[in-house]
Structure 1
């Protein structure tokens, strides 16, 4: 009869054999080019930031990084492709708050589970949305707009060039009780034209989209949606500091791997991303591109994204926001 001691000895021997193999896999990684799928068009903010990160990661990891654009369906197409890839560390994706949080509540059907089908690697960058108004309006704060709308509904309609902008409007309505009315646009260009032309008095957009108009004095920033002031829009108070404590919305980019990617490999990637994001020149370049450099552990990213889903699901449901 086989004794317990013999069984333990055999198991220990097998563990001794398998552990080095696992470490060997990590130590050999990477030994060929790595692909990062971007679920958006070339030249868009996520794409540009990914190419910067890829260039820097290539130097750290000693292998080429190939960025592949697979745009479509609000980021679902490219993210689905990444979810179907082998979990070997050679296909990654640059996720966003849309692909890995919001889309599952905006679309009736999703071909992947943003939590169960991916391994988090690291947060790369974040940015707030900005409430801005035309330079000729009397508004100086977010409260000015909300008070005006409460007194005269429809007097300060808001241009919404993105789903993120719409969520900010709904969140503001929820927190302030103001009867805000948002006008949806397909992009920043057309929304900006109407606000600059005086057809609408307020817009909500990214710091990067608003930056040239703020610098030229054509628009005035009223507030940022991050919990604290953002270096992307210096001198502008958060909405949370203007009488709406707890108000926060940030968009973000983060690196993910397909489910099943070994922990040893995700640790190698996390360390490399954090090393890159610690470089002063990379941090400045990301700020120039409209992102606040992030970083942190894979566990942090996983918990953060989960809390974001719990937070935005009821708001999207209550507002009846749909993307399809």
Structure 2
């Protein structure tokens, strides 16, 4: 009887075991030594944007904590697809991360097909920040308060116009319309800035923007703020009531940021990053830096982010469906 095949199988098994045994310590060592080189935070917005500035606050804090460089890389354009795909395709070793925003929860509602999987392609790490939005009209507008705006829209459905600085803003205003039972007519713009300028000029009846963008225009007498889409008044505009105070409790809209890693990133790396993000969020300097931007710390670990992403995704899918918005191809 020829025993050679049996001996060959035993030898191959032994070699496989030795290879695995030699690889595992190396992998474990790489994770224990993480980060051993600079880490890249990919942002889907250009330099100087709110998300970019927030990412740089965290990059600085993470660098202070780990004594290793955290570098912000801007990959704007393509509806945030470019940045998302770059991270989804990156090696899952913790050295390329996605400092993401609302796109991961809005995209599934606004597009029939995506070039990436918002859930399957990423490993949640931590929530970072959130900021709200403010409804504004021109100072010479006949709408002196939120009630005037809603009353006009009820009398003439689709007659009151709003400047939508992108598809996301359109969905936000649809949530407002749904919460008060009216219909507005959207006027699309390429960016919140032009939409706010036309609202100030009276070209459109109203628009929405983040407090840091509208506060100076309000204080300069070019815009009047009617409502804050949050659960509490904003420190930059303390005199402006919330949607909840005005009878629209469902009108809470936050622009948020969070940290993700590529799917299959080792759990020890995820846990390290989550712990460092928790330290960054608890640092008073982080809160102080964000306050200047009109935003706030929004803490939460991997499980919190996973649940938050799922809830927000379903929320926007329902809003888009009820508004009759057709997702793009």
Larger Rg: 2
TM over 0.5: yes
Match of 2:106 in 1: 102
Alignment of 1:94-243 (within 5 A): 94-98=99-103, 100-153=104-157, 156-243=160-247
Match of 1:9 in 2: none
Q: Is 1:257 matched up with 2:225?
A: no
Unaligned 5+ runs, structure 1:
1-15
Is the Cα–Cα contact under 8 Å of residues 106 and 168 in structure 2 kept in the other structure?
A: no
Q: TM-score, normalised by structure 2?
A: 0.86
Compare 77-86 and 208-217 and name the one that shifted more. 208-217
Q: Is 1:287 matched up with 2:291?
A: yes
Per-residue CA deviations over 1:36-74 (Å, capped at 9, x if unaligned) read 111222222111211121122111111111211112211
Is the Cα–Cα contact under 8 Å of residues 232 and 292 in structure 1 kept in the other structure?
A: no
What's the CA shift for 1:246?
3.0
Is the Cα–Cα contact under 8 Å of residues 171 and 315 in structure 1 kept in the other structure?
A: yes
SS at match of 1:92: strand
Is the Cα–Cα contact under 8 Å of residues 26 and 268 in structure 1 kept in the other structure?
A: no
Match of 1:35 in 2: 40
Q: Is 1:85 matched up with 2:93?
A: no
Q: Compared with structure 1, are the counterparts of its residues 166 and 112 closer, same or farther at alpha carbon in structure 2 (3 Å cutoff)? A: same
What's the CA shift for 1:105?
2.3
SS at match of 2:259: strand
Q: Structure 2 residue aligned with 1:51, among 25, 47, 56?
A: 56
Q: Is 1:273 matched up with 2:277?
A: yes
Q: Compared with structure 1, are the counterparts of its residues 130 and 283 closer, same or farther at alpha carbon in structure 2 (3 Å cutoff)? A: same
SS at match of 2:41: strand
Distance 1:154 1:177 in 2: 12
Match of 1:314 in 2: 318
Is the Cα–Cα contact under 8 Å of residues 37 and 68 in structure 2 kept in the other structure?
A: yes
Q: TM-score, normalised by structure 1?
A: 0.87
Is the Cα–Cα contact under 8 Å of residues 131 and 224 in structure 1 kept in the other structure?
A: yes
Distance 2:50 2:328 in 1: 21
SS at match of 1:59: helix
What's the CA shift for 1:22?
7.2
Q: Is 1:75 matched up with 2:80?
A: yes
Unaligned 5+ runs, structure 2:
1-20
What is the aligned length?
308
SS at match of 1:125: strand
Distance 2:236 2:298 in 1: 13
Is the Cα–Cα contact under 8 Å of residues 230 and 252 in structure 2 kept in the other structure?
A: yes
Distance 1:101 1:18 in 2: 38
What's the CA shift for 1:255?
0.5
Compare 68-77 and 189-198 and name the one that shifted more. 189-198
